[in-house]
Protein backbone atom coordinates (compact mmCIF):
# COMPACT_ATOMS: atom_id res chain seq x y z
CA UNK A 1 0.00 0.00 0.00
CA UNK A 2 3.02 2.35 0.03
CA UNK A 3 2.56 4.41 -3.10
CA UNK A 4 5.60 6.62 -2.67
CA UNK A 5 8.57 6.95 -0.36
CA UNK A 6 11.57 9.24 -0.10
CA UNK A 7 13.72 10.42 2.82
CA UNK A 8 10.93 12.46 4.37
CA UNK A 9 7.64 11.47 2.82
CA UNK A 10 5.74 8.18 2.82
CA UNK A 11 2.37 7.96 1.08
CA UNK A 12 0.15 5.04 2.02
CA UNK A 13 -2.66 4.61 -0.46
CA UNK A 14 -5.75 2.71 0.58
CA UNK A 15 -7.38 0.13 -1.68
CA UNK A 16 -10.58 2.13 -1.15
CA UNK A 17 -11.13 5.23 -3.27
CA UNK A 18 -7.36 5.59 -3.68
CA UNK A 19 -7.35 7.52 -0.41
CA UNK A 20 -3.96 8.85 0.62
CA UNK A 21 -2.52 8.85 4.12
CA UNK A 22 0.75 10.71 4.39
CA UNK A 23 3.61 10.47 6.88
CA UNK A 24 6.30 13.10 7.02
CA UNK A 25 9.40 12.35 9.08
CA UNK A 26 12.11 14.80 10.08
CA UNK A 27 14.90 14.68 12.66
CA UNK A 28 12.52 15.99 15.26
CA UNK A 29 9.02 14.84 14.45
CA UNK A 30 6.64 12.51 12.72
CA UNK A 31 3.59 14.06 11.13
CA UNK A 32 0.70 11.77 10.24
CA UNK A 33 -1.94 13.10 7.85
CA UNK A 34 -5.45 11.58 7.49
CA UNK A 35 -4.46 7.99 8.45
CA UNK A 36 -7.19 5.87 6.97
CA UNK A 37 -9.54 3.31 5.74
CA UNK A 38 -9.56 -0.45 6.26
CA UNK A 39 -8.64 -1.72 9.74
CA UNK A 40 -5.49 -3.49 8.52
CA UNK A 41 -4.45 -0.40 6.58
CA UNK A 42 -4.77 1.81 9.66
CA UNK A 43 -2.85 -0.83 11.67
CA UNK A 44 -0.06 -0.78 9.10
CA UNK A 45 0.21 3.00 9.35
CA UNK A 46 0.07 2.87 13.15
CA UNK A 47 2.80 0.20 13.32
CA UNK A 48 4.95 2.15 10.88
CA UNK A 49 4.66 5.30 12.98
CA UNK A 50 5.39 3.63 16.31
CA UNK A 51 8.29 1.66 14.87
CA UNK A 52 9.91 4.75 13.39
CA UNK A 53 9.10 7.49 15.88
CA UNK A 54 11.91 6.68 18.36
CA UNK A 55 12.29 9.78 20.55
CA UNK A 56 10.37 12.00 18.14
CA UNK A 57 7.09 13.80 18.79
CA UNK A 58 4.13 12.63 16.73
CA UNK A 59 1.54 15.03 15.35
CA UNK A 60 -1.67 14.30 13.49
CA UNK A 61 -3.07 16.60 10.84
CA UNK A 62 -6.61 16.34 9.49
CA UNK A 63 -7.35 18.02 6.17
CA UNK A 64 -11.14 18.09 6.71
CA UNK A 65 -13.89 16.29 8.59
CA UNK A 66 -15.20 13.80 6.00
CA UNK A 67 -15.54 10.50 7.81
CA UNK A 68 -13.09 8.67 5.57
CA UNK A 69 -10.34 11.13 6.54
CA UNK A 70 -10.82 11.09 10.32
CA UNK A 71 -11.72 7.46 10.97
CA UNK A 72 -8.17 6.51 11.99
CA UNK A 73 -7.97 9.06 14.79
CA UNK A 74 -8.53 6.53 17.60
CA UNK A 75 -5.39 4.65 16.57
CA UNK A 76 -3.33 7.74 17.41
CA UNK A 77 -5.36 9.32 20.16
CA UNK A 78 -2.43 10.26 22.42
CA UNK A 79 -0.77 12.58 19.95
CA UNK A 80 -1.31 16.28 19.27
CA UNK A 81 -3.89 17.08 16.59
CA UNK A 82 -3.79 19.92 14.08
CA UNK A 83 -6.95 20.87 12.15
CA UNK A 84 -9.08 23.87 11.33
CA UNK A 85 -11.08 25.66 14.00
CA UNK A 86 -14.14 24.83 11.90
CA UNK A 87 -13.38 21.12 12.20
CA UNK A 88 -12.94 21.55 15.93
CA UNK A 89 -16.33 23.28 16.13
CA UNK A 90 -18.06 20.97 13.64
CA UNK A 91 -21.72 20.76 14.66
CA UNK A 92 -22.21 17.32 13.05
CA UNK A 93 -19.63 15.29 14.96
CA UNK A 94 -22.10 12.60 15.96
CA UNK A 95 -23.35 12.07 12.42
CA UNK A 96 -19.75 11.79 11.17
CA UNK A 97 -19.05 9.14 13.83
CA UNK A 98 -22.26 7.39 12.81
CA UNK A 99 -21.09 7.32 9.17
CA UNK A 100 -17.91 5.53 10.25
CA UNK A 101 -19.89 3.02 12.32
CA UNK A 102 -22.39 2.44 9.49
CA UNK A 103 -19.56 1.86 7.05
CA UNK A 104 -17.83 -0.61 9.38
CA UNK A 105 -21.10 -2.43 10.12
CA UNK A 106 -22.00 -2.76 6.47
CA UNK A 107 -18.71 -4.61 5.76
CA UNK A 108 -18.54 -6.51 9.11
CA UNK A 109 -15.38 -4.60 10.00
CA UNK A 110 -13.99 -4.44 13.51
CA UNK A 111 -11.26 -2.10 14.58
CA UNK A 112 -8.73 -2.45 17.38
CA UNK A 113 -9.26 1.13 18.46
CA UNK A 114 -12.11 3.34 19.50
CA UNK A 115 -13.97 5.38 16.90
CA UNK A 116 -13.82 8.99 18.10
CA UNK A 117 -14.04 12.44 16.60
CA UNK A 118 -10.62 14.14 16.72
CA UNK A 119 -9.85 16.25 19.72
CA UNK A 120 -8.09 19.24 18.17
CA UNK A 121 -5.10 20.68 20.07
CA UNK A 122 -3.84 23.17 17.51
CA UNK A 123 -6.66 24.84 15.61
CA UNK A 124 -6.24 26.97 12.53
CA UNK A 125 -8.77 29.77 12.50
CA UNK A 126 -7.29 32.56 10.39
CA UNK A 127 -7.45 32.77 6.62
CA UNK A 128 -3.67 32.27 6.59
CA UNK A 129 -1.48 31.02 9.42
CA UNK A 130 2.12 30.05 9.89
CA UNK A 131 3.28 27.58 12.48
CA UNK A 132 6.69 26.21 13.35
CA UNK A 133 6.98 22.86 15.08
CA UNK A 134 10.43 21.39 15.50
CA UNK A 135 12.12 21.55 12.13
CA UNK A 136 8.92 21.88 10.09
CA UNK A 137 7.31 25.10 9.02
CA UNK A 138 3.61 24.96 8.22
CA UNK A 139 1.71 27.47 6.10
CA UNK A 140 -2.03 26.98 6.41
CA UNK A 141 -4.82 28.34 4.22
CA UNK A 142 -8.53 27.91 4.86
CA UNK A 143 -10.00 25.74 2.11
CA UNK A 144 -13.80 25.72 2.24
CA UNK A 145 -15.84 24.44 -0.71
CA UNK A 146 -15.64 20.65 -0.64
CA UNK A 147 -16.57 20.85 3.05
CA UNK A 148 -16.66 23.97 5.18
CA UNK A 149 -13.76 22.96 7.40
CA UNK A 150 -10.92 22.11 4.99
CA UNK A 151 -7.38 23.45 5.09
CA UNK A 152 -4.54 23.49 2.61
CA UNK A 153 -1.15 22.92 4.21
CA UNK A 154 2.19 23.82 2.71
CA UNK A 155 5.06 22.09 4.49
CA UNK A 156 8.55 23.52 4.28
CA UNK A 157 11.42 23.03 3.76
CA UNK A 158 10.17 20.17 1.60
CA UNK A 159 7.82 22.02 -0.75
CA UNK A 160 4.89 19.73 0.03
CA UNK A 161 1.26 20.75 -0.56
CA UNK A 162 -1.33 18.71 1.30
CA UNK A 163 -4.43 19.46 -0.74
CA UNK A 164 -7.18 17.58 1.10
CA UNK A 165 -10.05 16.64 -1.19
CA UNK A 166 -9.05 18.98 -4.02
CA UNK A 167 -7.02 18.47 -7.20
CA UNK A 168 -7.50 14.74 -7.49
CA UNK A 169 -6.75 13.17 -10.85
CA UNK A 170 -9.43 10.51 -10.29
CA UNK A 171 -12.37 12.69 -9.21
CA UNK A 172 -14.12 15.79 -10.47
CA UNK A 173 -14.90 18.31 -7.68
CA UNK A 174 -17.20 16.88 -5.02
CA UNK A 175 -18.88 19.94 -3.58
CA UNK A 176 -20.74 19.52 -0.29
CA UNK A 177 -20.43 23.09 0.93
CA UNK A 178 -20.29 25.88 -1.67
CA UNK A 179 -19.20 26.14 -5.28
CA UNK A 180 -18.18 29.78 -4.89
CA UNK A 181 -15.96 28.88 -1.96
CA UNK A 182 -14.66 25.92 -3.96
CA UNK A 183 -13.61 28.25 -6.79
CA UNK A 184 -11.97 30.64 -4.32
CA UNK A 185 -10.02 27.72 -2.86
CA UNK A 186 -8.89 26.71 -6.37
CA UNK A 187 -7.60 30.27 -6.86
CA UNK A 188 -5.61 29.87 -3.64
CA UNK A 189 -3.95 26.78 -5.07
CA UNK A 190 -3.02 28.84 -8.14
CA UNK A 191 -1.24 31.42 -6.01
CA UNK A 192 0.35 28.81 -3.74
CA UNK A 193 1.89 27.10 -6.76
CA UNK A 194 3.26 30.46 -7.93
CA UNK A 195 4.45 31.60 -4.52
CA UNK A 196 6.21 28.49 -3.22
CA UNK A 197 8.68 26.15 -4.78
CA UNK A 198 6.36 23.14 -4.72
CA UNK A 199 7.98 19.73 -5.17
CA UNK A 200 4.98 17.55 -4.55
CA UNK A 201 1.24 18.00 -4.38
CA UNK A 202 -0.66 15.25 -2.56
CA UNK A 203 -4.44 15.10 -2.95
CA UNK A 204 -6.80 13.16 -0.67
CA UNK A 205 -7.55 10.66 -3.43
CA UNK A 206 -5.60 9.56 -6.48
CA UNK A 207 -2.08 10.23 -7.58
CA UNK A 208 0.35 12.75 -6.15
CA UNK A 209 2.18 14.89 -8.67
CA UNK A 210 5.63 16.46 -8.87
CA UNK A 211 4.80 18.24 -12.08
CA UNK A 212 3.90 21.91 -12.01
CA UNK A 213 2.07 21.70 -15.34
CA UNK A 214 -0.02 18.80 -14.04
CA UNK A 215 -0.88 20.83 -10.90
CA UNK A 216 -2.10 23.71 -13.08
CA UNK A 217 -4.01 21.31 -15.31
CA UNK A 218 -5.85 19.84 -12.31
CA UNK A 219 -6.78 23.34 -11.13
CA UNK A 220 -8.12 24.38 -14.52
CA UNK A 221 -10.03 21.11 -15.00
CA UNK A 222 -11.76 21.63 -11.66
CA UNK A 223 -12.65 25.22 -12.54
CA UNK A 224 -13.93 24.13 -15.97
CA UNK A 225 -16.11 21.41 -14.49
CA UNK A 226 -17.81 23.82 -12.09
CA UNK A 227 -18.29 26.63 -14.60
CA UNK A 228 -19.45 24.35 -17.41
CA UNK A 229 -21.95 22.45 -15.27
CA UNK A 230 -23.40 25.71 -13.97
CA UNK A 231 -23.63 27.17 -17.47
CA UNK A 232 -25.41 24.07 -18.79
CA UNK A 233 -27.88 24.21 -15.93
CA UNK A 234 -28.61 27.85 -16.72
CA UNK A 235 -29.27 26.82 -20.32
CA UNK A 236 -31.57 24.04 -19.10
CA UNK A 237 -29.26 21.35 -20.48
CA UNK A 238 -28.88 19.12 -17.43
CA UNK A 239 -28.53 15.89 -19.46
CA UNK A 240 -25.43 17.28 -21.17
CA UNK A 241 -23.69 17.79 -17.82
CA UNK A 242 -23.27 14.00 -17.58
CA UNK A 243 -20.94 14.12 -20.59
CA UNK A 244 -18.47 16.01 -18.41
CA UNK A 245 -17.91 13.05 -16.08
CA UNK A 246 -17.52 10.41 -18.79
CA UNK A 247 -13.75 10.87 -18.97
CA UNK A 248 -13.23 9.67 -15.38
CA UNK A 249 -12.48 6.00 -14.69
CA UNK A 250 -15.53 5.28 -12.56
CA UNK A 251 -18.32 7.44 -13.99
CA UNK A 252 -21.10 5.08 -12.91
CA UNK A 253 -20.06 5.12 -9.26
CA UNK A 254 -19.36 8.84 -9.39
CA UNK A 255 -22.72 9.77 -10.87
CA UNK A 256 -24.28 10.21 -7.45
CA UNK A 257 -21.64 12.81 -6.53
CA UNK A 258 -22.35 14.64 -9.75
CA UNK A 259 -26.05 14.51 -8.84
CA UNK A 260 -25.29 16.00 -5.40
CA UNK A 261 -23.40 18.76 -7.18
CA UNK A 262 -26.36 19.40 -9.50
CA UNK A 263 -28.70 19.72 -6.52
CA UNK A 264 -26.33 22.16 -4.82
CA UNK A 265 -25.73 24.22 -7.98
CA UNK A 266 -29.47 24.51 -8.65
CA UNK A 267 -30.00 25.75 -5.12
CA UNK A 268 -27.16 28.24 -5.49
CA UNK A 269 -28.48 29.41 -8.85
CA UNK A 270 -32.05 29.52 -7.53
CA UNK A 271 -33.20 27.24 -10.39
ZN1 LIG B 1 -12.15 12.10 0.84
**What pLDDT is attached to residue 12?**
98
**What pLDDT is attached to residue 77?**
80
The predicted-structure confidence for 207-229, as pLDDT tens digits, reads as follows: 999 999 999 999 999 999 999 99
The predicted-structure confidence for 1-40, as pLDDT tens digits, reads as follows: 899 999 999 999 999 999 999 999 999 999 999 999 999 9
Ligand 1 geometric centre to CA of 177 (Å) = 14
Give me the half-sphere count of Cα atoms (radius 13 Å) on the Cβ side of residue 109. Answer: 19
Contacts of 79 (CB under 8 A, 6+ apart): 32, 57, 58, 59, 60
Mean pLDDT of 52-70: 97
Angle of helix 251-268 relative to helix 212-234, nearest 10 degrees, comes to 60
**Is the per-residue pLDDT at 256 higher than 90?**
yes
CATH number for the domain running over 2-268? 3.60.15.10
Ligand 1 geometric centre to CA of 103 (Å) = 14
Share of the chain above pLDDT 70, in %: 100
Ligand 1 geometric centre to CA of 83 (Å) = 15
The predicted-structure confidence for 125-134, as pLDDT tens digits, reads as follows: 999 999 999 9
Ligand 1 geometric centre to CA of 80 (Å) = 22
Ligand 1 geometric centre to CA of 64 (Å) = 8
Ligand 1 geometric centre to CA of 34 (Å) = 9
Ligand 1 geometric centre to CA of 20 (Å) = 9
Ligand 1 geometric centre to CA of 58 (Å) = 23
The predicted-structure confidence for 91-101, as pLDDT tens digits, reads as follows: 999 999 999 99
Ligand 1 geometric centre to CA of 120 (Å) = 19
Ligand 1 geometric centre to CA of 17 (Å) = 8
List, in sequence order, every residue forming a beta bridge with 138; answer none if it has no partner: 131, 155
**What pLDDT is attached to residue 53?**
94
Ligand 1 geometric centre to CA of 223 (Å) = 19
Query: What is the distance between the alpha carbons of residues 271 and 263, in angstroms, rounded to a whole number?
Result: 10
Ligand 1 geometric centre to CA of 136 (Å) = 25
Mean pLDDT of 247-253: 93
Selection from 209, 206, 204, 177 nearest residue 193 by Cα: 209
The predicted-structure confidence for 63-90, as pLDDT tens digits, reads as follows: 999 999 999 999 998 899 999 999 999 9
**What pLDDT is attached to residue 125?**
98
The predicted-structure confidence for 170-210, as pLDDT tens digits, reads as follows: 999 999 999 999 999 999 999 999 999 999 999 999 999 99
Amino acid sequence: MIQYKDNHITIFQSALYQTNSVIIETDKLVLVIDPTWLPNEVNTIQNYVYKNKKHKDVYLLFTHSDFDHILGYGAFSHVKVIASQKLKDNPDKQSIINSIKDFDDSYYLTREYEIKFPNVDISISKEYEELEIGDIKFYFYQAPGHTEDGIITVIEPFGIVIAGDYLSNVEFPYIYHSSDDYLTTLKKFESIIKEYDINILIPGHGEFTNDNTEMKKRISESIDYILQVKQLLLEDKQEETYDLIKKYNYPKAMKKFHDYNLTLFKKELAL
